A and B are shown apart, each in its own frame.
Chain A
Amino acid sequence: MAATTAWLSPPSRTELIENLVSGVDRYNPSNVGILEDYLYHQIRSEEYDCLANLAILKLYQFNPDLFNPDVVINILLKALTAEPFPDFNLCISLLDDRPPNSALDEPDPLPTLLPLLMNLYNLLHQCRFSAFWVLYRSDELEVIRENYTVECAGFEDAIREVAARSVRATFTRINSERLGTYVDLTGPELEAWVAKQRWTFDSSTGVVSIPPNPDNQIESVVIQEHIKLPQLSKVISHTVQVK
């Protein structure tokens, strides 16, 4: 199963959205409402559709008066959970400069929040998970926590999933405390989470074992040449001809 199939067209996407994303209708500004509703649906039900969110950002790019910073922040938060896919960067690429919009009722929160979000992203990308949680729980990010992630169902679990992906690839066995700092869980919660991941938790030694997967089984490989018969056909046929 191609790794990107789900990313390209998530099973949760309806046909209406599919048409919007793949067709010319995506440029129609009046469709922005449909896509925004879909985004909120994603937020509430723990789904994620990258291309549809990018379509929203593109509409904002062309129609700056439609710009809604809350939507943008939600999209960026969702993109954070998609590591290691490059979604966050793609979203940033589409965030054009726009003239100061006086049509908004409240001051635009984006310019202040964006650096914080980028910090979060950098930490995730550099696999500094414990630092991520520290920053996330700090006072600075209270605004994000209060207003945005609290609505986003399963945000923290999704971040834990990101950490789990990295850990799964790198470790065969890992200290449970260390794992706890990576996912910001302790004690029985940690054990429950580990069980959900189907890793084994050895409570006596406090070590979590990760079952083998293609990434954490290593072996030394010597890449040999693989000569196929068709490659030799010309040479062989020529010798036959000559004789």
Chain B
Amino acid sequence: MAHQRVALWAAEPDLDDINDTDVDIPIPMPSSTNEMYDDPNLQLDEGSLQAMQQHIAQQAAFAQIPDVVKRFIVHFHQAVLDNNLQEVTLAYESGWTRLTEKYYAKTEWPEAETIAPLVNDDQIFLILYRELYYRHVYSRLQPNVDDRFHSYENSCELFNYLLNSDGPVLLSLPANWLWDIIDEFIYQFQSFALFRSRPASKTDDELTMLGSEGGAQAWSSYSVLNVLYSLIQKSRANEWLKARAEGKSDEEIEEIVGEYGTKPLYRMLGYFSIIGLLRVHVLLGDFTLALKVMENVGLGQKAPFTAPTAVHVSTAYHAGVCYFMLRRIPDAARVFTGVLTWVMRARQYHTRSYQYDQINKTADRMYALLALCHVLAPTRLDDNVMNIVRERYGDQIGRMGRGEEGLSTFEELFLYACPKFICANSPPYDDPTALASMLIPPTPTSPSSQNPSVVLGDPTQRHLRAASSHFMSLTPVSSLKSLLKLYTSLDAKKLTGFLDTSGAGVDEEEVLSWMMVMKNAGRCVGRVNTGSTAANGEKDSDEGSRPSESLLSGEWMSISDLNFVIDQNMVHIAESTVGRRYAGWFIRNSEHAARVLDSVKASPLPPRIAPTQVQKKSADGPKGEGAPRTTGQKVAWGGVKVA
């Protein structure tokens, strides 16, 4: 037995993985096996026993891996080694998901150590494998605190490898994967922040781990930001975007971005990191900075390369949230609508990948936010997206329009739709007394009270309060609006009388305040866009937005169609209406008719049925308009010819 044990030892390269850290006695060489049985080395005995047990366990686990999976891993590894982008993409997108569904839907994939022999211990591949492994754990299963720390370490190793090797790394990974890496990194950070901000329900083990030195370092905001900023700087993504916007030639661009930026791997990582920064800043509550980092990217759908859909969706969602919290409602609504139309159209092209569910969930949240935008700043957006919003949230919108009672609905929708904001700092796990004092339940605060007591606790609550206060200030506006619509001029006293239906003593001063609020609500800062179709009939500024203009800039624009002015005590009202819009419809349909006509004319003539019919066809051919009527009964565009 001893001999056997020795032999296994000598063959096992990763003895350092022994969990028993008490063993500081170096593993003895086979020649000193007899000392194992002595007392001082009793610990070593346990250590070696554990190592052997572990090895046996690993071998058992290895044997349990289905052959399909083993082959897949080998194939995957080979593809990564060969930098065969197509194969890697295929393996990543379909292979991995397929096998997950089949074998690992409820459990974890085999550990990296277990499959190490299959890939000859290629550390790089193992890092990538672990990245996928932990992503699976986070998405399908519940990560425990160990998982969290290990995934952080793994991410650090990965980024270390990418950033600190001598020169750019010769890996070639698909864009989807790169985006998922960044996305997942931030998601794990967010998840950890949420996890650590809840000290109340932690086990002792978790508390010690969190309080330890490593625990404070893991997933710290600074390190996350550091990674993202380093990626951006290394690949000079910002300079690249600027150079592209200015239309520089390829050689000049290469010069500007340096050796890292020319590699697609780094370029994409840099670009995705910018989006990642946007997201992190939103999660930490810094909305202006979030928009500021997106300066060079802009919000159009023209990504510099075919970025995955998830990128656009994530960008738009977070940018929209920023605008919403900045109270620039029309900008938020425009961003949401733009991306939602695009998603609707592109929906059929998506693979059923990890990103698909994400995109759908984000789209749902955007619909909810659009409903909120509509309540805060009603505009006349009558298109597909708004119809869907009305379908889903019609009665909520109605309830919110009725004033104060709508507050709970507003809060509900906001809490559903907003990102899970996080706190930058952790509770003081290293200081047990401070931690205990934090756990004393604070005085309960009802979020719907208008004068909230100070509980700077859950960040989401803070942001909710900010949004709610804005909503509350706008509650009188809807009733005012409905009244004012009926008049061209109205005395303020009369108006007070109308509003005082409940006899609650609404006085004139209050009404005037409401009027000023309404006036303020009717204007807000919005981005001036020459290409925008939502002409409000007011100053149509053609100063335009150069592509390098910051996302934060904008003009005061009017968003309300009901305008009024107060002349001492008299209110004068003017309403703007929209004339009938028929041109767009007609143009679209004429173009469609033209296309149909072309396709009919281009299609082969039906076979000869009878000589007379054929003659008629050829005679009518050049006349164009007459052709459809004679060739077939299927054409239904009779109406167009009337015009």
Chain A residues packing against B (C-beta within 8 Å): 2-5, 8, 22, 24, 27, 50-51, 54, 58, 61-62, 64, 84-86, 89-90, 92-100, 110-112, 114-115, 118-119, 121-122, 125-130, 166-167, 169-175, 178, 181, 207, 214-227, 231-232, 234-235, 238, 242-243
Contacts and interface: CB of A to CB of B under 8 A. Distances in A.
A99 B427 CA distance: 7
Given A96-B425, A223-B577, A169 B326 contact: no
B608 interface: no
Interface of B: 221-222, 225, 229, 284-289, 292, 325-327, 423-425, 427-428, 431, 434, 437-438, 450-454, 456-457, 459, 462-463, 465-466, 469-470, 473, 509-510, 512-517, 519-520, 523, 525, 528, 535-539, 550, 552-556, 563-569, 572-584, 587, 590-591, 594, 597, 624
Contact of B288 (A51, A174, A214): A51
Given A218-B574, A242-B624, A97 B525 contact: no
B515 A93 contact: no
Given A97-B456, A218-B572, A225-B579, 15 more contacts: A8-B553, A27-B222, A86-B327, A99-B428, A100-B434, A111-B454, A115-B451, A119-B451, A126-B473, A128-B510, A166-B520, A167-B516, A218-B564, A232-B587, A234-B591
Most buried by A among B428, B451, B555, B568: B568
A81 to B, nearest CB: 16
Contacts of B462: 92-93, 95
Nearest to A99: B428
A67 to B, nearest CB: 10
A225 B582 contact: yes
A214 B565 CA distance: 11
B438 A99 contact: yes
Contacts of A223: 535-537, 576-579
Contact of B555 (A2, A8, A112): A2
A54 B423 contact: no
Contact of B513 (A2, A126, A172): A126
B567 A171 contact: yes
B535 A226 contact: yes
A166 B518 CA distance: 10
Nearest to B540: A226
B568 A64 contact: no
Contact of A5 (B424, B452, B528, B553): B553
Contacts of A61: 284-286, 424-425
B424 A62 contact: yes
Contacts of B564: 170, 218
Contacts of B578: 222-223
B519 A96 contact: no
A96 B565 CA distance: 41
B565 A170 contact: yes
8 contacts: A2-B553, A4-B553, A96-B456, A122-B450, A173-B567, A178-B512, A234-B594, A235-B590
Contacts of A121: 469
Contacts of A58: 284, 286, 289
Contacts of A92: 462, 465-466
Contacts of B566: 170-172, 174
Where chain B touches its partner, the secondary structure class is mixed
Contact of A218 (B510, B555, B565): B565
A224 B539 CA distance: 14
A93 B537 contact: no
B574 A94 contact: no
Nearest to B197: A97
Contact of B579 (A5, A8, A224): A224
A94 B424 CA distance: 10
A58 B287 CA distance: 11
B452 A115 contact: yes
| A-B interface, 4 closest residue pairs, ranked by CB to CB distance from nearest | A127-B516, A221-B576, A93-B285, A223-B537
Contacts of B528: 2
A216 B327 CA distance: 22
Contacts of B591: 234-235, 238
A32 to B, nearest CB: 14
Contacts of A181: 509
Contacts of B473: 122, 125-126
B581 A225 contact: yes
Contacts of B325: 86, 89-90, 93
Most buried by A among B452, B520, B580: B520
Given A4-B553, A27-B225, A218-B565, A115 B453 contact: yes
Contact of B515 (A111, A170, A219, A224): A170
Contact of A216 (B452, B514, B565, B569): B565
Contacts of B514: 127
A1 B450 CA distance: 37
Contact of B517 (A98, A115, A127, A224): A127
B515 A174 contact: no
B463 to A, nearest CB: 6
B196 to A, nearest CB: 13
B523 A215 contact: yes
B554 A130 contact: no
Contacts of A122: 450-451, 469, 473
A66 to B, nearest CB: 12
A238 B437 CA distance: 77
Given A96-B425, A111-B454, A225 B550 contact: no
B520 A175 contact: no
A93 B286 contact: yes
A62 B539 CA distance: 43
A85 B427 CA distance: 33
B425 A218 contact: no
Given A122-B469, A214-B539, A62 B519 contact: no
Nearest to B510: A128
B232 to A, nearest CB: 9
B287 A90 contact: yes
A118 B288 contact: no
B456 A169 contact: no
Contacts of A214: 539
Contacts of B457: 97
A196 to B, nearest CB: 21
A88 to B, nearest CB: 9
A54 B289 CA distance: 9
Given A61-B425, A86-B327, A92-B466, A3 B285 contact: no
Contacts of B535: 223, 226
Contacts of B509: 130, 178, 181
A144 B438 CA distance: 28
A111 B581 CA distance: 55
Contacts of A170: 515-516, 519, 564-566
Contacts of A51: 288, 292
B547 to A, nearest CB: 15
Contacts of A86: 325-327
A122 to B, nearest CB: 6
A115 B454 contact: yes
Contacts of B572: 218
B579 to A, nearest CB: 4
B176 to A, nearest CB: 29
A87 to B, nearest CB: 9
B10 to A, nearest CB: 50
B574 A207 contact: no
B179 to A, nearest CB: 23
A54 to B, nearest CB: 6
Contact of B221 (A62, A118, A125, A238): A62
Nearest to A114: B454
